[in-house]
Amino acid sequence: MSSHKIRVVVVGATGYVGLDLIKILSRHPKVQIKYLCAQKKLGKKIQFFDKTIKNKKLPKISNIKLVDWNEVDVLFTSLPTGQAQIISKKLIKYNNLKIIDLAADFRLNDPKIYKKYYGQKHRSVNLLKQSIYSIPEFVKDKISNFKIISCPGCYPTSIQLPLIPLLKNNLIKKNNIIIDSKSGYSGAGKNLKKKFNHKNLFSSIHAYGINKHRHTSEIDQQFRKLNKIKINYIFTPHLIPTFRGMLSTIYIETKKGIPLNKIYKYLKKYHKKNYFVKIMPINRKLGTENVLNTNFCEISICRSNIKNKLIILSAIDNLIKGAAGQAVQNMNLVFGYNEKLGLN
């Protein structure tokens, strides 16, 4: 464990995720925020963008060109797709620098699939081998070996935390999985109105990305790693009229003779040492109320009205466990700290 404070740069500091990241880092006992970078409003205090950030001694917004990379341990990038690839290519020469990306730039191992889903050529293909796709609960013992830590998307986080253990242990059927996910509109970022133009945007529920949501690419990738049998699922995301929070409702079919109780006990045992994953009592109705502004994921397994069919509920805060909190959890693991540090 390092004795000095982790010296941090946040690039993309003024977006929703960047601001939540700064809130967490500013109260982390082992972090020193050296630079907060953005392209606009240079020279402004971070409180200009979010008055709830209490630390008044944080650096003012500056251009990334002013950063002295010799005095930085971690770069957090919360930028539009493709930008972290350009920055990482320039900074890879700094041996002691870790890059934690909160966008999709290093989530996909195959540059062809990246281009298919994101509509642009990957600019740092040679760096993919130095990156790891990191839901921390699944890669705790591997993460420190990589230069670039790629934080998963919010939807895939809520989906994989319950499903990966069950699929890995062959407890559920690998076809006809239905995933219905709902997210607060902060998940679309500050350019929400440019991405969604349906009427009553802030007072209606809206399905989108049907059969083509970008996050299916990383779900596909991680499912393929489990075994050679293709896992068939349907995923439909929805935007709901609340700022933050995410609930995934997952419909599964168990293998013959495997009761709900066994599924519950296995999932509880699997996540026993994963502090931020809470397996709730069987048939517990849940929403996002308990996980808002936390790094927790609550999971409930419920009976359905059809034999051998179960319903899994998985709730997270899309901006915290789905982004900023998970990034800090990854940072803690990289530097040998308790993963809970700064996140309670």
pLDDT digits 0-9 by tens, 12-39: 999 999 999 999 999 999 999 999 999 9
Share of the chain above pLDDT 90, in %: 85
Is the separation of the CB atoms in 75 and 60 below 8 Å?
no
| pLDDT value of position 193 | 65
The pLDDT tens digits for 123-150 are 999 999 999 999 999 999 999 999 999 9
pLDDT score of 194 more than 80: no
The H-or-E segment that residue 323 falls in is: none
Q: Count of H helices and E strands in the chain?
A: 9, 14
> Among 211-220, 279-288, 310-319, which stretch is predicted with the lowest mean pLDDT?
211-220
4 or 33, which is more confident? 33
Task: Read off the pLDDT of each residue in 61-71 and give the average, rounded to a whole number.
Answer: 96
Q: How many residues does the chain have?
A: 344
Active-site entry in 151, 154, 297, 302: 154
Burial profile 170-209: b = 16 or more Cβ within 10 angstroms, e = fewer = ebbbbeebebbbbbbbbbbeeeeeeeeeeeeeeeeeeeeb
Q: How far is CA 301 from the centre of its chain?
A: 22
Q: List the one residue out of 67, 8, 64 whose CA is nearest residue 332.
A: 8
Task: Give the confidence band of 3 by pLDDT, cuts at 50, 70, 90.
Answer: low
**Residue 154 designated active-site:** yes
pLDDT at 89: 95
Show the tokens assigned to 42. Answer: 């240079």
**What global pTM score does this model have?**
0.94
Q: Domains in the chain and their CATH numbers?
A: 6-152+322-334 (3.40.50.720), 155-318 (3.30.360.10)
What integer pLDDT is reported at residue 192 of this predicted model? Answer: 65
Residue 209 pLDDT: 86
pLDDT, residue 202, reads 78
Q: Is the separation of the CB atoms in 267 and 162 below 8 Å?
A: yes
* Chain-centre distance for alpha carbon 238: 17
Closest CA to 38 of 11, 57, 20, 18: 11
* pLDDT per position as a tens digit, 251-272: 999 998 899 999 999 999 999 9
Per-residue exposure over 267-293, b if at least 16 CB sit within 10 Å of its own CB, e if not: bbebbeebbbbbbbeeeeebebeebbe
Q: Give the per-residue pLDDT at 178.
A: 97
Positive or negative CA dihedral for 204, 205, 207, 213?
A: positive
Q: 235: closest CA among 306, 165, 155?
A: 155
**What pLDDT shows up at residue 227?**
75
The answer, yes or no, to whether residue 80 has pLDDT greater than 70, is yes
pLDDT bracket for residue 340 (50, 70, 90): very high
pLDDT of 96 strictly over 70? yes
pLDDT of residue 1: 46
Q: Residue 294 — very low, low, confident or very high, per pLDDT cuts 50/70/90?
A: very high
Q: What pLDDT was estimated at residue 230? A: 85
Contact criterion met (CB below 8 Å) for 102 and 153: no
Taking residues 271-295, report their average pLDDT. Answer: 97
Residue 8 above 70 pLDDT? yes
